[in-house]
Amino acid sequence: MIDRRRLATAGLTLAVAFGTGYLMQNGGSVAARLAGPAEKANPSVSAPAEEAVDEVKAALPELPADIAVPDLGTGRSIIHTRRLAALDSGFQAPVLSDASTPTPFEIACKPVLTANPAPGAMIDVQLTTPCNGNSRITVQHGPLSFADVTDSDGNYSVSVPALQKEAKVDVTFEGGDRISTKALVLTVDGYNRSVLVWDGQPGLHVRAFEFGADYGDAGEVWAGAPRSPEHGVQALGGFLTQLGNPDVLNPELAEVYSFPADRMTKDGVVRMIVEAAVTDQTCGKVVVGNTIEVGADGQMREVALELAMPDCDTAGGFLVLKNLLQDMKIARN
């Protein structure tokens, strides 16, 4: 009778031997099956594939070494500034100002004042102030001052007799703000000038009688026959300039007589007087002002004026002030 345990042992031995031989002959394929899909996803690169990769890399462009780096904003710049300051003791960080930037309204409202020399030793003054239309202004050149008004657009222009070579002109606005400019007037030394400035209503006048002229003669120069600066440029005689606006609040007025002393070809005297009309606006009041006289040598003489006007029962009459302005004595060069 066959022993069953020996048969089982022999069968087990044969199975182990058979399995060992199979693995020895087919180990590679079995390992591949056991490795599964993870190893199949990373196959080794063959030599031809490596050469193709190198060719692609060689075809790609190289970035320049000095390529610009974009600015990342103020915050990043401040960080760089602090780092540079720490590295370099001589580095000066930029100063950041807290001053506000003018608004478009403020820029548009900024007044502009210019002054340029003009024939007859005059100063052409131009004012542009868009936000001060129909506004009272005071124009001042040395001791000469007067009040006027801008137009509806804030523009104003006037010709002022120069009293000095380096002529400064100031314009003061109603609120007290002031703007200034200068002009160089080289011909001012050739003119004699007599100036009358006063506060209040019109009624005061400068009259000049040239070389023996009398009332109504061609040589009489006053507000009714003022002439122009060209008259002086051509050495034909003097001319009168009226300044100020009597219709503004608290008027300030002026009259200036100019004579081209260095251009005249004859000797003589220009007689100067001031007339004050007694009117309903001036009667019984005190007129305050000043006189200014400038010789051809540039010397200036200023005298304060305080004139008590007669009572109103004399309205319609005149006061003649002969010694308020000195006569001009003209001598040929």
Domains: count for the chain: 1
CB burial of residue 32 (10 Å; 0-12, 13-18, 19+): exposed
Mean pLDDT of 130-155: 97
Query: Does residue 72 lie within any of the structural domains?
Result: no
More confident residue, 241 or 18: 241
Model confidence at 315, pLDDT cuts 50, 70, 90, reads confident
Alpha-helical (H) ranges within the chain are: 4-35, 37-40, 47-59, 74-87, 104-109, 229-233
Measured distance CA(207)–CA(329) in Å, rounded: 16
Query: Does residue 178 lie within any of the structural domains?
Result: yes
Supply the pLDDT for residue 40.
44
Name the 3-class secondary structure at 258: strand
Measured distance CA(204)–CA(196) in Å, rounded: 8
Average pLDDT of the chain, as a whole number: 79
Q: For 109, phi and psi rounded to 5 degrees?
A: -85, -10
Supply the pLDDT for residue 58.
60
Name the 3-class secondary structure at 313: helix
Instruction: Give the predicted TM-score (pTM) of the model.
Output: 0.69
Supply the pLDDT for residue 104.
56
Name the 3-class secondary structure at 7: helix
Measured distance CA(19)–CA(11) in Å, rounded: 12
Supply the pLDDT for residue 43.
46
- Side chain identity at residue 42, one-letter code: N
Query: Does residue 208 lie within any of the structural domains?
Result: yes
Task: Of 261, 266, 256, give the one whose Cα is nearest residue 298.
Answer: 261
Query: Does residue 252 lie within any of the structural domains?
Result: yes
Supply the pLDDT for residue 156.
98
Mean pLDDT of 248-254: 96
Task: Of 135, 128, 243, 141, give the one whose Cα is nearest residue 183.
Answer: 141
Query: Does residue 47 lie within any of the structural domains?
Result: no
29-82 pLDDT, tens digit per residue, is 444 444 444 444 444 444 555 555 565 456 555 655 555 555 544 444 444 445
169-197 pLDDT, tens digit per residue, is 999 999 999 999 999 999 999 999 999 99
Query: Does residue 49 lie within any of the structural domains?
Result: no
Query: Does residue 57 lie within any of the structural domains?
Result: no
Quote helix, strand, coil % in the chain, to nearest 5: 25, 35, 40
- Structural domain span for residue 234: 106-330
Query: Does residue 231 lie within any of the structural domains?
Result: yes
Q: Which two tokens stand for residue 101?
A: 């930037």
Measured distance CA(317)–CA(214) in Å, rounded: 19
